[in-house]
Amino acid sequence: MAATIRRETIGTTAGHRGQKPTDVDAYTLDSGEGLAVVVWTYGAGLVEVLAPDREGRTGNVVVRLADLDAYQDRATNPYVGSTVGRYCRCVADGRFRLDGVEHRLDRNDGAHHIHGGSLGFDRYVWEAEAERSDGLLSLRLRLDSPDGDQGYPGALRAEVRYQVSPDGSLAFEYRATTTASTIVGLTNHAFWNLAGGGLIDGHLLAVNSSRAVVFDDHLIPVAGPPADLTGSRLDHRVSKPVGDRRLDNCFLLDDPAWAAELHDPASGRTMRVVTDQPAVGVYSADGFTGRRRSGLCLEAGPLPDAPNRDDYPPVRLDPGETYRHRTVHHFSAR
């Protein structure tokens, strides 16, 4: 089958905090070789990933909500499939300093800031442009975030490009530029379930990491080095079942060869993740109201609270520079 791109308007946003209602489009990028994805312009969100199992039967391997209204309802939507930013992790006390100036962010997680704030990138309709070249299907989405948005300095132009290739891979490519020094860290918040439904307890997970961030009770990193995972229950360098354990951790990657691999023995589907980012967040959706443990988040990106940690890889972006992030999900079945 030939590769195709389809577009349809699925509804109109209600508008948030003075935003005008805006049409939301759905784009289907179908490789014609078994892998197809559906992306909405609302939140630049990944809504479906259709991948074949070992028998060639196609199923959706990401959690999706019922309709656009559900995606706009924060009570029922914990960032499902969304592009999150400007900063996709927590910022302790909702503040950080650049060049001696303190910047105060929206505190949308108790006393802290997370995933870009109450009106983060997941709450906007992005501009979209699709293209096809030599079998590679691309959807480029852009968003302009004004200076002071959620407390962040600088006007930021953000871009995410979804790419579907005939070899069964889905790539996320992020770019951003700014008019003033700021912080940036973008990721996708899909909940993966390679079985196409049910709980993720039976999945096998491998993570290329021997160290993880140590959190306090509010999931803020504590002072000191990461924890050595050798021999612990979080040592996933060799694939093992997710089981019924609660996972809400940030793993520092040992090398760029690969980040994580998820496998569903029942369907045979396997997803291998490769990224240029320093860490991957793993979350087992235990707090997903009504859909507990329905998917596993594998969020490649920076370290939590990195704006306030000199011992973490920097997340600063200055004018004239370009923020870049590339993560690829390779799908197969065995």
Catalytic residues: 189, 299
Asked whether 301 and 185 are in contact (CB, 8 A), the reply is yes
Cross-strand partners of 24: 11
Minimal CA–CA distance to 327: which of 283, 285, 275, 265? 275
Minimal CA–CA distance to 38: which of 22, 50, 56? 50
CA separation for the pair 1, 286 (Å, rounded) = 39
Question: Which of helix, strand or coil describes residue 127?
Answer: strand
B/e letters for 101-122, b = 16+ CB within 10 Å, e = fewer, are eebebbbbbeebbbbbbbbbbb
Q: How far is CA 233 from the centre of its chain?
A: 24
Q: How far is CA 111 from the centre of its chain?
A: 23
CA separation for the pair 332, 38 (Å, rounded) = 19
